[in-house]
Amino acid sequence: MLFRTTRHPVKRRRLIISLAILAILLAGTALPIGSLPPLQKLLNPETGIWAPSSPVNNLELGQQSTTIVLNGTSARVDLNIDQNGFVRIASNETWAMYFEQGYMTAKLRLTQMDFTRRLAEGNLSAIVGSSALSSDEFYRTLEMYPVATEVINNLSKSSAAYIAVSSFTAGVNSYMSSISSPSLPLLFKLLDYTPTQWKMEDTYVVQQLLTWQLSSSFDPLFFNYALEKMPENVITSLYPAYPSSVQFPMVPYSLNPAIYSESGNLKNLTLYSPTILSLNLSSFQTAALVTAPRSNNSEANSIISQLWSQLNSVRTTFHSIDDKGSNNWAVSSNLTGGGAILANDPHLSITVPPIWLGFQLVGPGENVIGVSFPGTPGIVLGHNPYIAWAATDSNVQATYFYFETLNPANSNEYMHNGQWTKFSILNESIPVAGSTPTSISVKRAINGAMIPGWNNTIALDWTGLYPSDELSALLSLDVAQNVSAAQNALTNFKVGIQNWAVADNKGNIGIFTYGYYPIIEKGNPRGVLPGNGSFDWVGSIPLSEQPHQYDPPNGFVFSANQIQVSPNYPYYIGWNFESGYRAAEIFTVLNSTYKPNVSQMEQLQLSNHDYSSNIFLKPLLSALERSNYSSIPETDTLAAWNGNMDLNSTAASIYYFWLNSYINDTFVPYLEHYNITVTEGLYGTTFFAASNAINQGPLVEDLANWTVNFPTIQWFNNPVNGEKRNATTLMVQGFHEALQELSALKGNYSQTSWQWGNIHTRYDPNLFGLPALDGPALPAPGDDNTPNAAYGINSTIGPSWRQITDMSRPLNSSFGIYPGGLSENYISPYYSNTVEDWNNGVYYTLIPSGLPPEFYYLYPGGSSSP
């Protein structure tokens, strides 16, 4: 018999089709999907998203011991982790203590550390793509990495800072080596990358980023804009160089006249007119500007509005830190009758994971507890057995702007001291995920870094552009044994000037606003200065004349971002300070409390009293009395109000909305009249006015002054239509609008639905901008002006760390809390576990009883060695 072969055509078609689909499926799941990694990788049950990320399954609370070996030397480390957000480390070797701090920081916050350094070094685009390119370009101009390298090169290898940073770095890398790729935190898997080894420079870069975020301001650009658009008499009245309203200076003339004794630079400056006349801001068209979206308003293409949108892009790429204000104070033993007491609550971004990580570090001659920034060794704010210290942002001007005249024949040269001078140029390549690297030239003039994308005409001079070693100052604070030693340590703190309050166990107190204060000899530093060499920085205010107090006779020191000095201080240090209401509240309470104790200090720190109500409420009620609103329940509620922004207060809601309306009704017409429009990107900043501007900026201070002292001053009149207005008419108008707003928001007036707690919340957004991983939103008391600050209606900024320490009993009577938790891992039980306690005003005992004796080292009853 003969045979032939045959194939079934239908089945062959099925084979081909199924083979094709299988091939497509395999290939498709092997390719990235947008910014996500391939599904084969992402959904891999063993190595992908299903693999538990560290440290959720290996974070053990309680006591542990381990032996660390580094460069052939070994040391024992005792570790104790508590659910209140503190990691306690004790070792008889200092290097091992910092090594373990690095190890634990990486274990708990690796993503945060990596994102922070990437942001500072201009390396975010490498993982998130071109959306972060403008951020990267901007941060590369600040040259934080080269500055960090220079700082490290200047360190002695036997210095405390070198030992701390190098050991910390080794600890971070030890942790990174110990985990497998499947155990990497969520974002590494989502963005499909593995973090590179930590370097010493990264620690300094993280610290530089923090000082940048705390000290930088673009106000001079905005202000130059105002100077050009508004007549000098308007500038003088609306934007005085010294706050026009109530302020309690941190170091008034009466308490330290010595710092006022020398003649300074203030009288040589012109603070009300532009140094650069007719600086046509809209003429600075650049490539970036041309490609940016334009509105019909030609003014919208101005350099300022473009810069503002660029800054917004920088700010929203990664939450990092927003700084609104802070409180600190110290009360001496003379006033308390016991020990000195210190209190601190820095108002920074409230995020999950939090910007802080709590540590107790015990090493030879050292036992310090407090909070640190993930990425840096040591403790930033806290106490040891001898001193407690606290910081608030000084709001001292640290950024100055210069207009550089370019050589028409060579754009790499600018005019300085009559000569064409070459920019120093650093060519950089920015890696971009999913795209080719972008090359940029970072230009540096004598007057600072040239802002990218602006035709290289505006230089930004920031004190942090030059090497300085704040970390050494902080590490010295960790081991300081009295206020004088702390004062000495702080002389090395140059950039990101803080108001440092200190209290020691001998009952002494002090406050020191030390740092590098640039001096220029003429011109208007409030605006943009010419970069021609005549307006350069010529030095810093001498240390002895910088604001400070040591054991003042009134028995307390305090700061809340108000101006540090009285009007007769002879140097220019800035002008855009906070309105001073928190400072006034703190001063009033401290000045009137007999023998203040820890409990009273807690009450003050948690106080929801808005001091601005002391100023505005009486005139408002008086105005309402003479209006159609004299006998309505809303007015009655307000009349019975005590000024507290409490959860159950209806008057608090009315007052808050009223004050916003009053500010805006008064000043927005000026912005309209002088063509400072919303599309300019300026209206909406607290500098000019904002939907929520009750806490800071000069305008609210003007308003307080005029309302009380000059209720019919011409500046109440509407400049747009010439309408005659005064404080009374505007207050009534604001009241009407407030009631309308609240009605639209919560329905008709009701004692329950209009309660502040039904309107005002705190919530903790995810640090990496992933809304699904946000912390809880909670009804919250307080507002922008209360010591227990909660800025805005949906507040994401507030007391990021609360500390009260009685230095006569620092072991038993020191309390603190930060909102969030230890871990950055969303599914960890320690991701946001302290938020509710924090919102409810709970404090944790910082060094609780029952710990192993090494954690009480240097305290009475502790072990004799770490």
Partner 1 sequence: MRLTSDLYFLLLVDLAACFLLSYFGVWYLAFIPSVLIGSLLKSRWLHLISFGFSGAIGAILPIFISDATARLDSGAVLAAVLGLPGGFVGPLILTAMVAFFISGLAAVVASSFRDTSPEPVAIKPKQKV
Helix (H, G, I), strand (E, B) or coil at 291: helix
Nearer to partner 1, 7 or 267 (CB): 7
Can you tell me which residue has the tokens 């939450």?
319
Q: Which of 15, 31, 69, 425 binds partner 1 (CB under 8 A)?
A: 15
Binding of residue 34 to partner 1 (CB under 8 A): no
Question: Per the structure block, which two tokens stand in for 388?
Answer: 């407690």
Q: Which of 290, 538, 770, 842 binds partner 1 (CB under 8 A)?
A: 770
Residue range at the interface with partner 1 (CB under 8 A); choices 13-21, 395-403, 572-580, 715-723: 13-21
Amino acid at 373: F
The nearest distance, CB 38 to partner 1, in angstroms, is 9
Instruction: Print the SS3 string covering 524-586.
Output: CCCCEEECCCCCCCCEECCHHHCCEEECCCCCEEEECCCCCECCCCCCCCCCCCECCHHHHHH
The nearest distance, CB 200 to partner 1, in angstroms, is 33
Which runs of consecutive H residues, i.e. helices, occur in 370-481?
Answer: 470-479
Residue range at the interface with partner 1 (CB under 8 A); choices 38-46, 59-67, 342-350, 728-736: 38-46
The answer to whether the beta carbons of residues 421 and 520 sit under 8 Å apart is: no
Nearer to partner 1, 30 or 258 (CB): 30
The answer to whether the beta carbons of residues 790 and 325 sit under 8 Å apart is: no
Nearer to partner 1, 5 or 278 (CB): 5
Residue range at the interface with partner 1 (CB under 8 A); choices 167-175, 624-632, 641-649, 766-774: 766-774
Binding of residue 267 to partner 1 (CB under 8 A): no
Binding of residue 69 to partner 1 (CB under 8 A): no
Nearer to partner 1, 17 or 538 (CB): 17
Strand partners, 814: 805
Amino acid at 725: R
Residue range at the interface with partner 1 (CB under 8 A); choices 5-13, 167-175, 245-253, 269-277: 5-13
Strand partners, 503: 388, 509
Question: 182 exposed, middle or buried (CB, 10 Å; 0-12, 13-18, 19+)?
Answer: middle
Nearer to partner 1, 37 or 555 (CB): 37
Binding of residue 777 to partner 1 (CB under 8 A): no
Instruction: Print the SS3 string covering 700-719.
Output: HHHHHHHHHHCCCCHHHCCC
The answer to whether the beta carbons of residues 778 and 754 sit under 8 Å apart is: no
Nearer to partner 1, 18 or 65 (CB): 18
**x/- track of binding to partner 1 for residues 170-189 (CB under 8 A):** ------------x---x---
- Return contacts of 735-741, CB within 8 angstroms, 24+ apart: 735/620, 735/623, 735/624, 735/627, 735/629, 735/654, 735/658, 735/661, 736/629, 737/657, 737/658, 737/661, 737/665, 738/654, 738/657, 738/658, 738/660, 738/661, 739/634, 739/654, 741/657, 741/661
The nearest distance, CB 20 to partner 1, in angstroms, is 10
Q: Which of 31, 50, 845, 848 binds partner 1 (CB under 8 A)?
A: 50
Q: Which of 7, 62, 67, 721 binds partner 1 (CB under 8 A)?
A: 7
Binding of residue 43 to partner 1 (CB under 8 A): yes
Nearer to partner 1, 186 or 708 (CB): 186
Nearer to partner 1, 26 or 290 (CB): 26
Question: 339 exposed, middle or buried (CB, 10 Å; 0-12, 13-18, 19+)?
Answer: buried
Main-chain dihedrals φ then ψ at residue 733, nearest 5 degrees: -60, -45
Q: Which of 37, 47, 640, 843 binds partner 1 (CB under 8 A)?
A: 47
Q: If you ran DSSP here, which 8-state letter would residue 257 be given?
A: G
Nearer to partner 1, 21 or 538 (CB): 21
Nearer to partner 1, 1 or 277 (CB): 1
The nearest distance, CB 193 to partner 1, in angstroms, is 16
Binding of residue 27 to partner 1 (CB under 8 A): no
Nearer to partner 1, 413 or 774 (CB): 774
Amino acid at 29: T
Main-chain dihedrals φ then ψ at residue 294, nearest 5 degrees: -115, 150
Helix (H) or strand (E) holding 331: strand 323-331
Q: If you ran DSSP here, which 8-state letter would residue 678 be given?
A: G
Q: Which of 59, 190, 311, 647 binds partner 1 (CB under 8 A)?
A: 190
Question: What distance lies between CA 47 and its chain's CA centroid?
Answer: 36
The nearest distance, CB 476 to partner 1, in angstroms, is 41
The nearest distance, CB 79 to partner 1, in angstroms, is 22
The nearest distance, CB 353 to partner 1, in angstroms, is 14
Of 813, 262, 807, give the one whose Cα is nearest residue 486: 807
Q: Largest alpha-carbon pair distance within the chain?
A: 124
Nearer to partner 1, 44 or 438 (CB): 44
The nearest distance, CB 378 to partner 1, in angstroms, is 32
Can you tell me which residue has the tokens 């940048």?
212
Nearer to partner 1, 204 or 768 (CB): 768
Nearer to partner 1, 46 or 291 (CB): 46
The answer to whether the beta carbons of residues 198 and 648 sit under 8 Å apart is: no
Nearer to partner 1, 45 or 408 (CB): 45
Binding of residue 194 to partner 1 (CB under 8 A): no
Q: Which of 295, 827, 842, 865 binds partner 1 (CB under 8 A)?
A: 827
CB atoms within 10 A of CB 150: 15
Of 747, 791, 801, 683, give the one whose Cα is nearest residue 346: 801
The nearest distance, CB 123 to partner 1, in angstroms, is 22
Q: Which of 60, 547, 684, 773 binds partner 1 (CB under 8 A)?
A: 773
Of 705, 706, 674, give the one whose Cα is nearest residue 688: 674
**x/- track of binding to partner 1 for residues 443-462 (CB under 8 A):** --------------------
Nearer to partner 1, 182 or 570 (CB): 182
Binding of residue 31 to partner 1 (CB under 8 A): no
Nearer to partner 1, 53 or 505 (CB): 53
Q: Which of 35, 44, 488, 758 binds partner 1 (CB under 8 A)?
A: 44
Nearer to partner 1, 660 or 766 (CB): 766
The nearest distance, CB 106 to partner 1, in angstroms, is 20
Binding of residue 290 to partner 1 (CB under 8 A): no
Of 774, 672, 684, give the one whose Cα is nearest residue 311: 684
The nearest distance, CB 178 to partner 1, in angstroms, is 18
The nearest distance, CB 400 to partner 1, in angstroms, is 41
User: Can you tell me the distance from the alpha carbon of 448 to that of 142, in angstroms, rounded to the nearest whole number?
Assistant: 9
Of 402, 370, 380, give the one whose Cα is nearest residue 321: 380
Count of residues interacting with partner 1 (CB under 8 A): 43
The nearest distance, CB 195 to partner 1, in angstroms, is 19
Binding of residue 568 to partner 1 (CB under 8 A): no
Binding of residue 39 to partner 1 (CB under 8 A): yes
The answer to whether the beta carbons of residues 835 and 845 sit under 8 Å apart is: no
Q: Which of 32, 52, 129, 669 binds partner 1 (CB under 8 A)?
A: 52
Which runs of consecutive H residues, i.e. helices, occur in 606-710?
Answer: 612-625, 633-639, 650-673, 698-709
**Site residues, partner 1 (CB under 8 A):** 1-8, 11-12, 14-15, 18-19, 21-22, 25-26, 29-30, 39-40, 42-47, 49-53, 56-57, 182, 186, 190, 770, 772-773, 826-827
